[in-house]
A = this chain, B = another copy of it.
């Protein structure tokens, strides 16, 4: 089966991904026109009410990724955090994500158990470069049969190790076989990422996650060149939280749903998103 993400990267100047924490949010991302879905560890952890700190199990994230893949036609990139252990775990884990239909995995160079990247005062220790190269090589091996892309993610800037270390790690990861390099930053402005991009001379394109520096628009990213994928990594859950909070508060205030009912998606809208019309057509065909 061809990897449609590969095709998109080849043919497009910039591929944009939206995060999802379940198949419904993924379907809304597809409907909105995003090129792919980011099966986000942060969003799924939040959906389960726990910190994004290696608390969800492999099974929980893998099962949700598979459920997402089954319900959208656009490619799904899986956030596998640190790979759930060492290179041996990575072999096992990446084979499972590939079999589940992921187009790519993103693996980061933090120690297991990780802490979430944007948290002030989080635990942000990195593994040795050689160790992570072994993990990348293992991921490439495990994904090969399914033509899976391996995206190495360096947290060197998150860990305050500086541009030189980030560039050095990026280069080492590309040498180990990574197909793309994700460089993450928690600065409030794009300067750090822009500087990294300008200095990047590696053989693979870049991926960014502009959560902390929202002013780096797609137009500016295109102008920079070298960056092939932008991941909007937490906006599905953030939008959902605001809206549920408001709707719940209003129902409490109103002592009923009479106001809220007109302000939110209708039950029929949800039926459509659940593909009820397709089920009704299938009932005609197969229920005898």
Contacts and interface: CB of A to CB of B under 8 A. Distances in A.
Interface in A16-34: 18, 21-29, 31-34
A46 B87 contact: no
Given A32-B249, A286-B134, A54 B85 contact: yes
Interface stretch (A3-11, A113-121, A161-169, A194-202): A113-121
Nearest to A1: B1
A21 B133 CA distance: 35
B49 A275 contact: yes
Nearest to A222: B255
A242 B273 CA distance: 12
A171 interface: no
A50 B275 contact: yes
B210 A257 contact: yes
B243 A54 contact: no
A251 B85 CA distance: 35
A179 interface: no
A288 B138 CA distance: 11
A36 to B, nearest CB: 13
Label chain A's interface by main secondary structure. helix
A247 B235 contact: yes
A89 B82 CA distance: 15
Contacts of A279: 51, 53, 88
A211 to B, nearest CB: 7
A140 to B, nearest CB: 10
A122 B62 CA distance: 28
Interface string A113-142: 100101101010000101101110110010
B47 A267 contact: no
A91 B286 CA distance: 9
A159 interface: no
B113 A89 contact: yes
A26 B248 CA distance: 11
B270 A251 contact: no
A253 to B, nearest CB: 10
B85 A113 contact: yes
9 contacts: A28-B248, A31-B245, A58-B58, A131-B288, A232-B257, A236-B248, A239-B265, A240-B243, A243-B243
